[in-house]
């Protein structure tokens, strides 16, 4: 047994370890403070080894393309693990299934599925983040959500151990994913999604590609895709749209510092170039307050805000 321990101790990490890394480089809002430890694993085995060495050191945060994330200006005393561009395996499996790792960008997954003449994943082209992020929040676009097509999942725990889970291990809601009550793990706290199999249907490549094309054209026409943003800031309240409420409240174009409510889509906040995370967070809170005062509706944030309050 001692011998096995020695071999393990000799295993060297192969990923990239950075300290005090500016998270503005890793979030789509291009704003925010630094992460005390930032790790980009070389692959799945390297990620397992890294996690096994971090036990109880600091909280762990997984990040993909950072398209749904705001890190406060005072930074983050945590271990940030970036899977984007690393956990990027994607392959066709039997029975019209696709397996993808968490670092695969959602639009790439949509295009890959279409190319394999599989239908049902076209809407993923409208989700700007990685597949792992889409799984973690039950992301949706064009009237579809990701969890109805999830067959089974691969997770990794804080000790670097890999687990197989099925969709039935989770309670799924609108933009919300939780482990079932009484589970022996907490998703997003001590276990994270690193891959999943999607159940699709036999399709026609041209049809799927056409669908993707029109989704993207619509998205380009209705969303500020050319400016730094984090997608929809608030969830849509039952029977209504957050964007409609924000627009009727007269907040389109309203700015705090370098952060502005988009003129193109009122549920998007854009960084006009100089926004701090604090500008963005203050604007989110202001929009929330105005909508609540005007319509007595409590908008629920879709964007994750993490980090130390300055």
**pLDDT for 22:** 98
**What is d(CA 295, CA 297) in angstroms, rounded to the nearest whole number?**
5
What pLDDT band is residue 3 in, cutting at 50, 70 and 90?
A: very low
Element spanning 146, H or E: none
What pLDDT band is residue 169 in, cutting at 50, 70 and 90?
A: very high
Average pLDDT, the chain: 94
CA angle 131, 169, 178 (to 5 degrees): 65
Q: Count other Cβ atoms within 10 Å, centred on residue 204.
A: 12
Q: Is the pLDDT of residue 21 over 50?
A: yes
What pLDDT band is residue 10 in, cutting at 50, 70 and 90?
A: low
Phi, psi of 116 (to 5 degrees): -85, 10
**pLDDT for 165:** 97
**What is d(CA 194, CA 43) in angstroms, rounded to the nearest whole number?**
11
Same fold, 90-222 and 242-306: no
**What is d(CA 48, CA 46) in angstroms, rounded to the nearest whole number?**
5
CB 71 within 8 A of CB 32: yes
What's the token pair of residue 167? 């969709």
Give 131-167 pLDDT, tens digit per residue. 999 999 999 998 899 999 999 999 999 999 999 999 9
Domain 90-222 has CATH 3.30.465.10: yes
Which CATH class name applies to 242-306? alpha beta
Q: How is the chain split into domains, by residue range?
A: 2-82, 90-222, 242-306
**pLDDT for 8:** 46
- Which residues are marked as active site? 175, 232, 302
What's the token pair of residue 269? 């906040």
Indicate the fold that domain 2-82 takes in CATH.
3.30.43
CB 73 within 8 A of CB 115: no
Give 196-227 pLDDT, tens digit per residue. 999 999 999 999 999 999 999 999 999 999 99
Residue 91: beta bridge partners? 99
């Amino acid at each position: 047994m001692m011998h096995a321990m020695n071999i393990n101790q000799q295993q060297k990490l192969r990923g990239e370890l950075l300290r005090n890394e500016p998270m503005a480089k890793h979030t789509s809002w291009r704003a925010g403070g630094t992460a005390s430890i930032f790790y980009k694993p070389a692959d799945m085995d390297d990620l397992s080894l890294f996690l096994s060495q971090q036990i109880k050191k600091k909280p762990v945060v997984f990040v993909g393309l950072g398209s749904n994330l705001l890190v406060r200006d005072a930074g983050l005393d945590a271990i940030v693990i970036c899977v984007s561009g690393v956990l990027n395996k994607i392959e066709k499996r039997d029975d019209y299934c696709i397996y993808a790792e968490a670092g695969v960008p959602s639009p790439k997954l949509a295009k890959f599925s279409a190319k394999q003449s599989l239908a049902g994943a076209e809407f993923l082209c409208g989700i700007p983040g990685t597949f792992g992020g889409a799984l973690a929040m039950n992301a949706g676009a064009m009237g579809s959500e990701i969890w109805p097509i999830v067959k089974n999942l691969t997770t990794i725990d804080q000790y670097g151990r890999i687990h197989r889970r099925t969709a039935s291990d989770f309670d799924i809601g609108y933009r919300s994913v939780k482990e079932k009550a009484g589970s022996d793990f907490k998703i997003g706290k001590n276990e994270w999604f690193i891959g999943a199999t999607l159940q699709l249907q036999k399709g026609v490549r041209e049809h799927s590609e056409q669908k993707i094309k029109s989704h993207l054209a619509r998205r380009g026409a209705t969303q500020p895709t050319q400016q730094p943003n984090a997608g929809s800031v608030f969830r849509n309240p039952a029977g209504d749209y957050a964007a409609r409420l924000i627009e009727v409240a007269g907040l389109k174009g309203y700015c705090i510092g370098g952060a502005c409510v988009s003129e193109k889509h009122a549920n998007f906040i854009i960084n006009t170039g100089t926004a701090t995370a604090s500008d963005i967070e203050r604007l989110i809170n202001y929009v929330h307050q105005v909508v609540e005062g005007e319509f007595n509706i409590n908008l629920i944030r879709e964007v994750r805000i993490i980090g130390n309050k300055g």
